[in-house]
Structure 1
């Protein structure tokens, strides 16, 4: 049930009189006391940890059978219901635009008088730095050049100018509006629920319009456990990619073979200590500072490649590809596989990417909600959909486009190398540009920073969910989730490498699709009710 939007929500856990203005204000800032003894160990926490430990035990003892079974299950899911991974994000995108451009867009994520906690620049830096930084390094070059060698759906001849544009159009599809529609839906729902309605920072309370009291019972707890599992495996995929990138970069710099599973597990162990410490320092200091630093370094590297690469060609390519993506948006969004080869291609690229975004949905949503208090629905939707999509498109054009130009004009072989190992692509591009040693060190540093910002945000979110939705969880809980996240990534790498990580993402994202649909319906019901209350004259 919604409450009068003119008054701040009555917080949970406060002992001050309900009429106390100071009590409402203080509790609105600090919804729960995370340091009360025994408050963190609830059934969601215990069930999630037990399930994860059991899976890690099986993966460690029987890696080959588990990897084989997970791969078979992933192939079955994509063959039977892969279409939903494209259709549902497209539907969410349309819904969000309707909400933003109607009267609902005026509603704030918080009381009517609230204002943003962070500046717009800091806000954008955090939402960019905490989301998919590692993937931008791993796939920033690898995906476009791979599509140049093996064009999507056979729409163009390999290595042709048409294949260059198509490579970027379909890369934009994988990393653009569809991904951010999933993130924005979760973020808007959780932000509205926590900041305006005073609910816990969980997914389950938002579903009350659909499942009623069951949101606070066993069904709601099961949903929150699923959120934790999906979030964990989505993040560990990024950690696995980051470890592979770091080890590959070190191999190129030292001339020694360091891109082995053992080295990658060691990298995960070392960085786990760093991101756990960062998460425990809090969003206001650790995550915000790292996110802003990472954004500056990434922007500097992008400008370096743009200036030292084929600048005019890249600018022209960006405009052509963006125009093709926008002009044919609906068509390429619904371009489903027609046969076995196309299905295999989709499983390796678009289906995997969409499942990855879905598995990250609750994580990014809770984090976006945490940093977006005071924003209007319209501002939240338009910025979260538009700004990252545009920046990601520019990133893939500059890095991926430069690599494609090197292959076409200099026969650099970056695409062929990426087909064998995607982790070589980014450093293969830097090898074709000036100051290779310096830029390779910068790239490794950027991966480490993205590793930390993404993982400490994940640690914070897992701690919130497992602490009954309190937005300021205990440090001991964050420490535990940081260590468990690193351990999960290491064990899955040992069990089957990137394939095991991809299968874990696909398997946890599949049931989560139903949660997304329910979340979208509940959000519309809540916002519509709020809009009607705002229009009702006061007595």
Structure 2
């Protein structure tokens, strides 16, 4: 523990105090309990700053796409002769597993079905148009915008760490903006916000994972109840597994499990594609992809100022943008760590395009199968969700196809491996951010963060279930969104300065 910093100490203290606050019974603190307080803060943020999340996410996407076509595209994330550490397959597998693995499995069926039954503004439920809009918005929420958010912070971290030999902490990216102030209290504050955002963001997904594993187990085995006790047992078991994986380091546990994740996900997706309504799924994918690209500009700026009573955009789009921003320090740091040696253009195209296309295909297969059953065959997937919860939607769909039980067990295994890799990656990132950017943080530090993030997930589930998890993610995203905008400024300044220096060097050589 010799390498720990003040950020580690402050973050651990605040996290432990937060966990204690969550444990305190309502009889002791009344309305000042965790769920009530975070709910009030969330309502205020969404009411006053919802537009800010929307504009910020869209700004990051425009900036990322602009870099692809800019004069900075050939700049290496490292020295000019550095080569990538990982193959494309391992690189994509790790960034995808860390980025949104559990979420895709959780929402793959339930989000399109939810939009179909409770559609966006100006749509009528249970219609062909509602089904089309449901899939288009699923593409939108899990497509280019979230990966643009990830790419901005990951690119900045990789660039400053591997090309300018900075240690891999968030505050160092802001040096071109604030100078040496980042070495003092300002830097501690920035890194603390990043660490806290990571804890909440990962806790959200760990909670989702525990809920869905419990939901799958209770769906397959009626004697198991998907309550807090079951979810707590799942969290404890998976915590032990990811702590063991975390001790093996980046090139063993995370890399191998990420590759297994992708293989399992592809197998499950291919099975359902061919066992299900193949033509419908692929037609739906093709049509929705075109519609998504066509409507991307209007979707990116859509709010409902003249329909104040309709909170659909706030409940879905704005929540997602906040959720992705809260995940950004974790996923961004991890993607940066595995991206040394790639060019800016290669990096941005890879991070934006590949996961977006895979996610679109995933929603088309799983969400498309659910919509097909509901819309054409009258199988009430929505009723099952209303009765037994969002977490059982995937299993309710799989049981309607051959080998449904086996596929459901495979899906639970996939959720477990995504759970492990997300938590494993998070302990690695939290270790980096609290040990001055060490590329191989001590196992003891990772162990502490593993316990804290699992405890946070358990407390949030205990105090308010999924709603409390979502609320916490939205709250911590606001300050970090501001930090990310400053990162873009710092990155642009430094890239421009480097390009100017290079031009002058070339001109001197020519003379």
Shift, 1:209, TM fit? 1.3
- The answer to whether 1:56 aligns with 2:19 is yes
2:329 aligned to which of 353, 362, 374? 362
Give the number of aligned pairs.
Answer: 500
Q: What is the TM-score of this pair, normalised by structure 2?
A: 0.96
In structure 2, how many angstroms separate the alpha carbons of the residues matched to 1:258 and 1:189? Answer: 45
- The answer to whether 1:255 aligns with 2:222 is yes
In structure 1, how many angstroms separate the alpha carbons of the residues matched to 2:97 and 2:177? Answer: 34
In structure 2, how many angstroms separate the alpha carbons of the residues matched to 1:419 and 1:217? Answer: 51
- The answer to whether 1:82 aligns with 2:50 is yes
Per-residue CA deviation, residues 166-204 of structure 1 (Å, 9 max, x unaligned), is 001111111111100100001000000100010011110
Q: How does 1:295-374 map to 2 (within 5 A)?
A: 295-338=262-305, 339-343=307-311, 345-374=312-341
In structure 2, how many angstroms separate the alpha carbons of the residues matched to 1:141 and 1:270? Answer: 26
- The answer to whether 1:178 aligns with 2:157 is no
2:362 aligned to which of 395, 406, 417? 395
Contact 1:181 1:385 in 2 (8 A): yes
Contact 1:75 1:347 in 2 (8 A): no
Shift, 1:320, TM fit? 0.9
In structure 1, how many angstroms separate the alpha carbons of the residues matched to 2:260 and 2:283? Answer: 30
3-state secondary structure, aligned to 1:132: helix
1:168 maps to 135
2:85 maps to 117
In structure 1, how many angstroms separate the alpha carbons of the residues matched to 2:259 and 2:2? Answer: 35
Shift, 1:39, TM fit? 2.0
Q: What is the TM-score of this pair, normalised by structure 1?
A: 0.91
Contact 2:219 2:392 in 1 (8 A): no
2:378 aligned to which of 396, 400, 411? 411
In structure 1, how many angstroms separate the alpha carbons of the residues matched to 2:412 and 2:308? Answer: 37
Superposition CA RMSD, Å: 1.2
In structure 2, how many angstroms separate the alpha carbons of the residues matched to 1:346 and 1:72? Answer: 19
Q: Which aligned segments of 4 or more residues in structure 1 are displaced greater than 6 angstroms?
A: none
1:512 maps to 480
In structure 1, how many angstroms separate the alpha carbons of the residues matched to 2:210 and 2:384? Answer: 19
In structure 2, how many angstroms separate the alpha carbons of the residues matched to 1:450 and 1:100? Answer: 30
Contact 1:149 1:416 in 2 (8 A): no
Tell me whether 96-105 or 442-451 shows the greater mean CA deviation.
96-105
Contact 2:432 2:439 in 1 (8 A): yes
In structure 2, how many angstroms separate the alpha carbons of the residues matched to 1:535 and 1:117? Answer: 29
2:347 aligned to which of 369, 377, 380? 380
In structure 2, how many angstroms separate the alpha carbons of the residues matched to 1:178 and 1:401? Answer: 22
In structure 2, how many angstroms separate the alpha carbons of the residues matched to 1:73 and 1:482? Answer: 27
Q: How does 1:489-500 map to 2 (within 5 A)?
A: 489-500=457-468
2:470 aligned to which of 494, 502, 516? 502
2:245 aligned to which of 253, 270, 278? 278
2:413 maps to 445
In structure 1, how many angstroms separate the alpha carbons of the residues matched to 2:25 and 2:53? Answer: 30
Contact 1:146 1:419 in 2 (8 A): no
In structure 1, how many angstroms separate the alpha carbons of the residues matched to 2:386 and 2:40? Answer: 22
2:202 maps to 235
In structure 1, how many angstroms separate the alpha carbons of the residues matched to 2:385 and 2:179? Answer: 50
Per-residue CA deviation, residues 14-72 of structure 1 (Å, 9 max, x unaligned), is xxxxxxxxxxxxxxxxxxxxxxx6222x2100000000011111111046622012112
Stretches of structure 1 that go unaligned for 5 or more consecutive residues are: 1-36
In structure 2, how many angstroms separate the alpha carbons of the residues matched to 1:455 and 1:412? Answer: 36
- The answer to whether 1:219 aligns with 2:178 is no
Stretches of structure 2 that go unaligned for 5 or more consecutive residues are: none
1:145 aligned to which of 106, 113, 116? 113
1:292 maps to 259
Shift, 1:81, TM fit? 0.8
- The answer to whether 1:157 aligns with 2:121 is no
3-state secondary structure, aligned to 2:99: coil
In structure 2, how many angstroms separate the alpha carbons of the residues matched to 1:280 and 1:349? Answer: 37
Q: How does 1:419-430 map to 2 (within 5 A)?
A: 419=386, 421-430=389-398
Shift, 1:268, TM fit? 0.4
3-state secondary structure, aligned to 2:126: coil
